[in-house]
Chain A
């Protein structure tokens, strides 16, 4: 199958770290992506990782990939209220642009 699973909700306090998890089933995935969606908006590309990498860091964002367990995580350091949104992980295979998306995790940042 090609399911991508995420937990639906995550609530954190401002300034804490957030960790959003994702599991996928297709071992032939080439790229794994994280997108952010704010209300009424499209998808904003946050970061992506090639399947032969274990980790990628970009400012406050850290992506960890465990290929053995088909587990992907996104860590947001020093979470701010502006980070409140829905976060989608997605997997892509080969050279095409057919991505399979997870259900999305709604991140709520509380003061």
Chain B
């Protein structure tokens, strides 16, 4: 079974631009969560989608948004990029039944210059 796939692997953007990251979950998984990892703040939860609906949300500004499609694939968008948005963005998928662990992808490394 293929794991969680995130694209692209690396991105370089300029301040003020916007970016879209993509995540394909493990087949059969209906929940997709997004996390941001930085050296200063560590791993922080952004949001979770289940059956195309946002089920949970972390404490990030509205510039961070996401969506989930009917095939459970998810995208995350960050608008008006700031230098502090430079991070590794990790996507995780699970069955979403409350008893299943999260499986993470290899992440997208975003650098904002």
Question: Which of B11-19, B69-77, B78-86, B92-100 participates in binding chain A?
Answer: B92-100
Is the Cβ of A103 less than 8 Å from the Cβ of B105? no
| Alpha-carbon distance between A81 and B70 when the two chains are bound, in angstroms | 43
* Max count, chain A CB within 10 A of own CB: residue among B31, B33, B43, B106: B43
- What band does the interface of chain B fall in when counting residues whose beta carbon is under 8 Å from A? 20 to 34
| Alpha-carbon distance between A90 and B45 when the two chains are bound, in angstroms | 12
Is the Cβ of B56 less than 8 Å from the Cβ of A42? no
From B45, B96, B103, B107, A45 is in contact (CB under 8 Å) with B103
Interface size of A by CB at 8 A reads 23
Interchain nearest-CB distance for A15 vs B (Å): 29
From A45, A95, A100, A101, B101 is in contact (CB under 8 Å) with A45
From A30, A96, A101, B43 is in contact (CB under 8 Å) with A101
Q: Interface residues of A: mostly helix, strand, loop or mixed?
A: strand
Is the Cβ of B48 less than 8 Å from the Cβ of A96? yes
Is the Cβ of A97 less than 8 Å from the Cβ of B31? yes
> Interface digits, A69-111 against B, CB 8 Å rule (1 contact, 0 not)?
0000000000000000000101000111111111110000000
State whether the Cβ of B21 lies closer than 8 Å to any Cβ in chain A. no
A44 contacts across to B, CB distance below 8 A = 104
State whether the Cβ of B112 lies closer than 8 Å to any Cβ in chain A. no
Is the Cβ of A88 less than 8 Å from the Cβ of B107? no
> Interface digits, A19-48 against B, CB 8 Å rule (1 contact, 0 not)?
000000000001101010000011111001
| Alpha-carbon distance between A35 and B42 when the two chains are bound, in angstroms | 14
Other A-B pairs beyond A97-B94, A104-B42, 10, CB < 8 Å:
A35-B104, A41-B107, A42-B4, A42-B6, A42-B106, A43-B104, A97-B33, A97-B92, A97-B96, A98-B58
Which residues of A line the B interface, CB within 8 A?
30-31, 33, 35, 41-45, 48, 88, 90, 94-104
